């Protein structure tokens, strides 16, 4: 497995370890104040067999800079507005440059930068995600009720791109929520270890974390509800298609019954019609009489056939 090692000064290096070797040197790395995150920044507790709670927390806490730098790049690429360097601090710009140039160095930065990034993620979520999703779901619901072809229009490139963005954002918010959950387990003296600026007040950091934890939990719940709505809309669309196909099939059967309703008496009278002129030699309206009888009998046959079909289909 390939890991990024992060020391207390936020200096980063990269090395590949076998899982067995990693487990053997894990405690040694901890004693030397070196912590690990994986290459994809998705290190899982289940990958570590060491059961001490603080060790696991330390690993997750130390990729806070990686999460924040990744979120900064995400925002810079997706939000249609410029990031104000005076608000986010010049160090954030350096992080973006480092990420773009594939430089592994992750800079340290003050708490105001992290708070600004969280604010931008929240604003992006509210402005570009929730409103768009709600409108899309409303339009789709209406289109299902009014237009049989709306199902096909729903699966546009725009929707697929949006759904992917929603999934990425949900994953990102989950990461941040997990991080906040770990921070909740720390004592004040432990939080001090992770101050992004030595001059920052610990209480202020905890308050900021508590506030944004609530914000992102609410966002995550909203995302989950929207995802459930999308899944339900897809199920409804499938039912709608099935219903439309059943209607088409029923229409075809009724049409066949109608054809048979006219065909049967026509065949019967046609077979008799060969002798009718002989029976009514003086009648010039023999064929007219046959067609009148056909038009009278055919509807009777059709309605009887339709009634029998309806009983079988429970219509």
Q: What is the pTM of this model?
A: 0.41
**What pLDDT score does 103 carry?**
40
* Parts of the chain with a pLDDT under 70: 1-118, 120-122, 124-125, 127-206, 209, 220, 223, 227, 230-231, 233-234, 236-254, 257, 260-294, 296, 298, 301-302, 305-306, 308-315
**What sign does the CA torsion over 189, 47, 73, 163 have?**
negative
Within the chain, strands assigned E span: 2-7, 12-16, 34-38
CA angle, corner 222, sides to 217 and 226, nearest 5? 145
Q: What is the pLDDT of residue 63?
A: 46
Q: Can you give the pLDDT at residue 242?
A: 61
- What's the confidence (pLDDT) of residue 150? 53
Q: What is the structure's pLDDT at 125?
A: 66
pLDDT for the residue numbered 164: 62
User: For residue 154, what pLDDT is reported?
Assistant: 56
For residue 276, the SS3 value is helix
SS3 of residue 70 by DSSP: helix
pLDDT value at residue 3: 46
């Amino acid at each position: 497995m390939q890991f990024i090692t992060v020391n207390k000064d936020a200096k980063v290096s990269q090395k590949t370890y076998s899982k067995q070797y990693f487990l053997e040197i894990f405690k040694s790395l901890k004693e030397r104040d070196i912590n690990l995150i994986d290459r994809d920044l998705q290190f899982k507790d289940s990958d570590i067999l060491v059961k001490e709670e603080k060790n696991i927390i330390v690993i997750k806490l130390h990729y806070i800079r990686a999460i924040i730098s990744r979120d900064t790049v995400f925002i810079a690429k997706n939000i249609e507005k410029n990031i104000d360097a005076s608000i986010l601090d010049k160090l954030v710009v350096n992080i973006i440059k480092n990420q773009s140039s594939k430089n592994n160095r992750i800079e340290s930065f003050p708490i105001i930068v992290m708070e600004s990034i969280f604010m931008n993620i929240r604003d992006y979520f509210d402005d570009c995600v929730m409103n768009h999703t709600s409108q899309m779901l409303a339009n789709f619901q209406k289109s299902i009720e009014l237009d049989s072809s709306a199902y096909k229009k729903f699966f546009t490139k725009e929707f697929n791109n949006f759904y992917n963005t929603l999934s990425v954002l949900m994953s990102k918010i989950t990461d941040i929520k997990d991080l906040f959950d770990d921070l909740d387990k720390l004592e004040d003296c432990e939080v001090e270890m992770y101050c992004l600026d030595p001059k920052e007040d610990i209480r202020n950091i905890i308050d900021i974390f508590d506030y944004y934890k609530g914000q992102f939990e609410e966002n995550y719940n909203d995302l989950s509800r929207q995802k459930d709505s999308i899944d339900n809309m897809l199920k409804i669309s499938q039912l709608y298609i099935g219903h439309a196909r059943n209607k088409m099939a029923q229409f075809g059967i009724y049409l066949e019954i109608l054809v048979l309703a006219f065909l049967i008496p026509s065949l019967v009278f046609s077979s008799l019609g060969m002798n009718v002129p002989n029976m009514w030699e003086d009648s010039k309206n023999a064929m007219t009489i046959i067609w009148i009888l056909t038009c009278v009998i055919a509807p009777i046959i059709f309605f009887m056939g339709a009634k029998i079909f309806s009983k079988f289909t429970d219509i």
